[in-house]
Amino acid sequence: MMTPNESPRWRESACPGEERLVGALNEAEGPAMMNDLEYLGAELKGARERAGLSQRQFATGTGVSQSYVSKVENGSLIPSEEFASRCDLVLGTDGLYERMRARVVERGHPSWFAPYAKLEKQAEEIFFYSVWALPGLLQTEEYARAIFQAANPDQSEDWVAHQVRSRMARKEILAGKNPPTLWVVVQEAALHNRVGGSRVMREQLLFLLEMAEMPRVTILVLPFSAGAPAATDAFIRLRLRDGRGIVYAETALGGQMSESPDQVALAERRSDLLRAEALSPRESIRLLKKIAKGMQSDDED
């Protein structure tokens, strides 16, 4: 088992970000640098302050609330196209923020995911329930690439490569000095689904086994024999270090995030039921090894 201070083999040092826009927007997200959305927010805040405007004054000038400006500046909200245009008008920046916003949407996380990605870094505990695909935090590079390619067949290789880099960079939260506690309940079907082929999937399962050795990571398998599960759709529940609870779920139409106490409480109850229905950690590891071994035999045939 790894010690709390030991880094898993997937961890690589973050490359130092460049100061200018193009460099920052081409770097993957990581703990030592701003992501695309945070960079946009920091640039906007700096420009506003250099113009001598308070958040309230800037909000009035751009036709939004002060809260809206605050969320954009701290990198927790992707600005609307109209707001970006008004920023350029108020600050006299000749389309800069419209271009920055377009670059964020093109290169970064989907607009519905960016706020979640920011909150994930603040989590004390993360609970994943996965149905057909494994959680992004536990995906190998090749598995993630196969997922993005299958879901986005019309996108370029550069676009796919950027998404994969961003997803891999998210793993850094598990290798920090104070990583979150991570609970994963995964449907057995997701372990048999040969994303990327037998070799890629076998390596993915071996990676899960490696991650399960980390001190704060628990991976549980919900077997076929469990019958109808307590939840049919995948979801993520966060407990932040400030005590807040967050529920996030993705659909074909995008992602939905809620801080509603009722929604969070429902997710907590379902999390408890799913953990109770799943195999024990030891039994889950045994099943993971068995499935991985079966895929190796298939490759040899």
Q: Is residue 173 domain-shared with residue 48, that is, in the same domain?
A: no
pLDDT at 206: 97
DSSP assignment of 156-177: -HHHHHHHHHHHHHHGGGGSSS
Give the whole-angstrom CA distance, residue 298 versus residue 129: 28
Considering its fold, how many domains does the chain have in total? 2
Q: Are residues 121 and 246 in the same domain?
A: yes
| Shared-domain flag, residues 55 and 178 | no
Same domain, 97 and 216: no
Residues 129 and 269 in one domain: yes
pLDDT for res 258: 85
Q: Are residues 200 and 242 in the same domain?
A: yes
* 236-270 pLDDT per residue, tens: 999 999 999 999 987 766 677 888 899 999 999 99
Q: Are residues 139 and 260 in the same domain?
A: yes
| Domain boundary, last residue among 107, 141, 159 | 107
Q: Are residues 167 and 293 in the same domain?
A: yes
The verdict on residue 154 lying in a domain is yes
Arithmetic mean of pLDDT, 132-151: 95
Average pLDDT over residues 54-75: 93
Is residue 22 in a domain? no
Q: Does 28 have pLDDT greater than 70?
A: no
What strand order describes the sheet that includes 235-240?
217-222, 181-187, 123-130, 235-240, 245-251, 254-258
Whether residues 284 and 259 fall in one domain: yes
- The span from the CA of 56 to the CA of 296, in Å, is 61
Residue 156, CA atoms < 13 Å, CB-side half-sphere = 5
Query: What pLDDT shows up at residue 74?
Result: 85
Minimum mean pLDDT range among 163-172, 189-198, 271-280: 163-172
Residue 39 has what pLDDT?
83
- What percent of the chain has a predicted confidence (pLDDT) above 70? 82
Which pLDDT band, with edges at 50, 70 and 90, does 107 fall under? low
For residue 225, give its domain range.
114-300
**DSSP secondary structure letters along 172-234:** GGGSSSSPPEEEEEEEHHHHHS-TT-HHHHHHHHHHHHHHTTSTTEEEEEE-GGG-S-S-SS-
User: Which pLDDT does position 78 carry in this prediction?
Assistant: 79
Residue 86 pLDDT grade (very low, low, confident, very high; cuts 50, 70, 90): very high
Same domain, 285 and 144: yes
3 domain residue, yes or no: no
Domain boundary among 107, 141, 170: 107
Which residue would you say has higher pLDDT here, 276 or 108?
276
Please indicate, yes or no, if residue 157 is contained in any of the structural domains: yes
On whether residue 24 sits in a domain, the answer given is: no
Structural domain includes residue 6? no
* pLDDT at position 156 over 80: yes
d(CA 200, CA 66): 48
Same domain for 99 and 123, yes or no, is: no
Task: Express each pLDDT in 187-219 by its tens digit.
Answer: 999 999 999 999 999 999 999 999 999 989 999
Whether residue 281 lies inside any domain: the answer is: yes
Q: Reply yes or no on whether the pLDDT at 286 is more than 60.
A: yes
Q: What CATH number does the domain containing 274 carry?
A: 3.30.870
Residue of 118, 113, 126 lying closest to 214 (CA atoms): 126
CATH number, domain of 82, equals 1.10.260.40
Per-residue confidence band for 123, with pLDDT thresholds at 50, 70 and 90: very high
pLDDT of amino acid 292: 95
| Mean model confidence pLDDT for the chain | 84
Boundary (domain end) residue, out of 107, 142, 165: 107
260 within domain boundaries: yes
pLDDT of 37 reads: 76
Please give the Cα distance from 109 to 194 (Å, whole number).
Answer: 25
Same domain, 216 and 235: yes
Q: At residue 2, does pLDDT exceed 50?
A: no
3-class secondary-structure state, position 18: coil
Q: Give the per-residue pLDDT at 18.
A: 25
Write out pLDDT tens, residues 124-136: 999 999 999 999 9
